[in-house]
């Protein structure tokens, strides 16, 4: 919402999304009136990893990788935990979009969700 610009190709939003935001209607995916959208981690990524699953120590999907910081590109040669950062969309945000925004909650019936 911070980048929302009505009529702008890259930053416009559908009215239904704006309404969910105004109502803070994040369903079971938000917490304390907030919806987490992304997170940063120190996973090793390389070019072509966009769309890769991000899993926690229990093997559960927690996000989808989509970018990394420029300083971390050297990890293709030498991984340095102090510099490598990958950026991922939070799985809870993906579920919120599927369920609350797209109205495709029936898809969640095919998934095993861990809360």
pLDDT band at 53 (very low <50, low <70, confident <90, very high): very high
Is 3 inside any structural domain?
no
The 3-state DSSP class for residue 67 equals strand
**pLDDT tens readout for residues 67-78:** 877 676 666 677
By 3-state DSSP, what share of the chain in percent is helix, strand and coil, each rounded to 5? 30, 20, 50
Is 8 inside any structural domain?
no
Is 5 inside any structural domain?
no
CATH code for position 96: 2.40.10
Given a cut of 70, whether residue 55 has pLDDT beyond it is yes
Residue-level pLDDT at 73: 66
Residue-level pLDDT at 74: 64
Tokens (6 digits) for 18: 């704006």
The full length of the chain comes to 115
Query: Which residues touch 112 (CB under 8 Å, ≥6 apart)?
Result: none
**pLDDT tens readout for residues 14-33:** 999 999 999 999 999 999 99
Number of structural domains the chain divides into: 1
Is 1 inside any structural domain?
no
Torsion of CA 66, 68, 70, 71, to 10 degrees: -170
pTM for the whole structure: 0.85
Residue-level pLDDT at 77: 75
Average pLDDT over the chain, rounded to an integer: 89
Provide the domain limits for residue 31: 15-110
């Amino acid at each position: 919402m911070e980048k929302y610009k009505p009529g702008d190709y890259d930053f416009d939003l559908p009215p239904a999304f704006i309404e969910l935001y105004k109502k803070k209607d994040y369903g079971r995916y938000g917490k304390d009136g907030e919806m987490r959208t992304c997170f940063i981690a120190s996973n090793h990524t390389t070019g072509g990893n966009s769309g890769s699953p991000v899993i926690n120590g229990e093997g559960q999907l927690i996000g989808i990788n989509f970018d990394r910081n420029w300083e971390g590109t050297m990890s293709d040669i030498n991984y340095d935990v102090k510099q490598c950062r990958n950026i991922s969309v939070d799985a809870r945000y993906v579920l919120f979009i599927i369920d609350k925004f797209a109205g495709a909650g029936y898809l969640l019936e095919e998934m095993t969700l861990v809360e």
